[in-house]
Amino acid sequence: MLHGGTDVAETFGAANTPEAPGLVIGHPQGAAAGIQVLANGGNAVDAIVAAALVAGVVAVPACGIGGYGGHAVIGLPGGKVSAIDFNSTAPAAAREDMYPLDASGRVRGRINQHGWLAAGVPGTLAGLQLAIDRFGTRRLERLIEPAIRLARDGFAVEAGFARATRNAAEQFARDPGSARLFLPAGRVLAEGETFRNPDLAAMLERLAKDNSVAAFYRGRFADQVAREFKKHGGLVTRDDLAAYKAREVAPLSLTWRGHTIHTAPLTAGGLSVLQILATLRALDWEKMDAADPHATHARVEAMRVAWHDRLALLGDPDAGDLPVDRLVSAGYAEQSAERVRKAVRDGQMIPGASDDRTAGGTVHLTAADKTGMMVALTLTHGEAFGAQVTVEGLGLVLGHGMSRFDPRPGYPNSPRPGCRPLNNMCPSVIVRDGRPVVALGAHGGRRIPNTLVDVLAPLIGRCASLADAYAAPRLHTEGAATLQLAKGWNDAQVDYLKRVGYTITTGRGASLNAIARDVEAGTFSRVPA
């Protein structure tokens, strides 16, 4: 039973999907491959790895086989939850002052966004291999087959893919591998055209025969990747690739109203999600009227406090002593809550600012199986096509993980040798009574952490159904006075927020997907439906 005598089905909404064999959502072709794996007896990790590999071929503007990496959170049937960190690392030659800055603190020529200096060590393949090794039941050689077919035989270019290609065409034309792949005969790919990547298919076939991604990091492919970095002035070497390790790590956790939310730890964005939720919990936010503008004001200020801390204090915990425990502690949550209470009483904003650095991209996948295993996995290039460079001969587009560092020296998230950049991914699993009941995550760059809060706060705090929590109005702030509101806010709330002093803009939150499992009925529900 849930808090207040509500059962799982009532809290999370009527289940609508039979338990057998399970469910995979988040990318259409990836989900189809994952569901087939479940039908053939694989578990949720097997399914989500197959889905991720397909997404890495088909959704190449957002993620890729050479993507800079991602994070996964895995809830086991008995309630144990683990996380896989496969974020990119900076090469050994990286330095805090490696990017020249203009007077406003921005990188000259955007060389941390596009080009070979924007790419760090790719983590995606290592992370998927580790997930299979630790929690899967199927061999890589079988799970990679759908991705190979799509790379070899091709798929129809969708409108978003074509648009992203047009936008990247100027950069692609400067990079031989990208020009060959995305600008055939010097023209931009058109919607509906068949896109093939035979070089990538050949590499994946070799990895399948090895039943391992080892050759990508310490073999023939590592040599080829390192040669291309050197040829084009990049920094990643064969030693950097050989040194890379995906890691199994303990998730960060927070309990609220009988539910324990487990999320990806630093360098992912989960810490900020839990910090905001801890502040709302300390405010007794769940007892406030959702229609009361003061409740919205409190939620905005809790987000602004967390974003200020995120941008000023967080980075790779291996690079220094970061206040992780303090930021999610009950004591700090109460301190933050008191600051929020005062701001709401006074009708004012807590002083704060943002760094005005945008970030988009990512694909999020969610999977569940009949045993009760639930998995949330987010992977990314960064923004469209990442660094917008391609390893010639491998068809391997590289993510721009180095763009996720703060390019200014002296910050916790400044680039340093071997460090992992701060990112926004927040795959999460919710456990109730010792069993996973929800897995969720989102894609959409910096909007991801706030979107997770937008859904988790009513879902857990107010025991809303999954469908109602998903449909609730969303907002976004990164600590400054600018507040972005999605559809659904009423005029009274908007007018109140303007009077407080926020600059209101309109926009949408990140794109979230989630699976809820009704343990007793053996069925699933999902959003979006």
Asked if residue 104 has pLDDT above 70, the reply is yes
- Residue 526, SS3? strand
Q: Return the H-helix or E-strand segment holding 527.
A: strand 523-527
Q: Look up residue 245 and give its two tokens.
A: 């390790």
pLDDT at 209 (0 to 100):
98
- Residue 229, SS3? helix
Q: What is the pLDDT of residues 422-479, one digit of tens each?
A: 999 999 999 999 999 999 999 999 999 999 999 999 999 999 999 999 999 999 999 9
Q: What is the pLDDT of residues 378-416, one digit of tens each?
A: 999 999 999 999 999 999 999 999 999 999 999 999 999
Q: What is the pLDDT of residues 241-299, one digit of tens each?
A: 999 999 999 999 999 999 999 999 999 999 999 999 999 999 999 999 999 999 999 99
360 — pLDDT class (breaks 50, 70, 90)? low
Q: Look up residue 261 and give its two tokens.
A: 């939310």
Return the closest-CA partner of residue 320 out of 388, 277, 260, 267.
267
Predicted structure pTM score: 0.94
How buried is residue 282: exposed, middle or buried, by Cβ count under 10 Å (0-12/13-18/19+)?
A: buried
How buried is residue 494: exposed, middle or buried, by Cβ count under 10 Å (0-12/13-18/19+)?
A: middle
353 — pLDDT class (breaks 50, 70, 90)? confident
Return the closest-CA partner of residue 10 out of 488, 430, 527, 519.
519
- Residue 522, SS3? coil
pLDDT at 357 (0 to 100):
67
How much of the chain is helix, strand and coil, in % rounded to 5?
40, 20, 40
Distance of CA 486 to the CA centre of its chain: 20
Q: What is the pLDDT of residues 216-241, one digit of tens each?
A: 999 999 999 999 999 999 999 999 99
pLDDT at 6 (0 to 100):
34
Please state, as a whole number, how many other Cβ atoms lie within 10 Å of the Cβ of residue 137: 11
Return the closest-CA partner of residue 222 out of 209, 208, 206.
206
Q: Look up residue 3 and give its two tokens.
A: 């808090």
Q: What is the pLDDT of residues 303-351, one digit of tens each?
A: 999 999 999 999 999 988 899 999 999 999 999 999 999 999 999 999 9
Question: For the chain, which domains are there?
Answer: 17-249+364-404 (no CATH), 252-358+427-527 (1.10.246.130)
66 — pLDDT class (breaks 50, 70, 90)? very high
Q: What is the pLDDT of residues 507-528, one digit of tens each?
A: 888 999 999 999 988 899 999 9
pLDDT at 508 (0 to 100):
85
pLDDT at 7 (0 to 100):
34
Q: Name the pairing type of β-strands 396-397 and 155-156.
A: unpaired
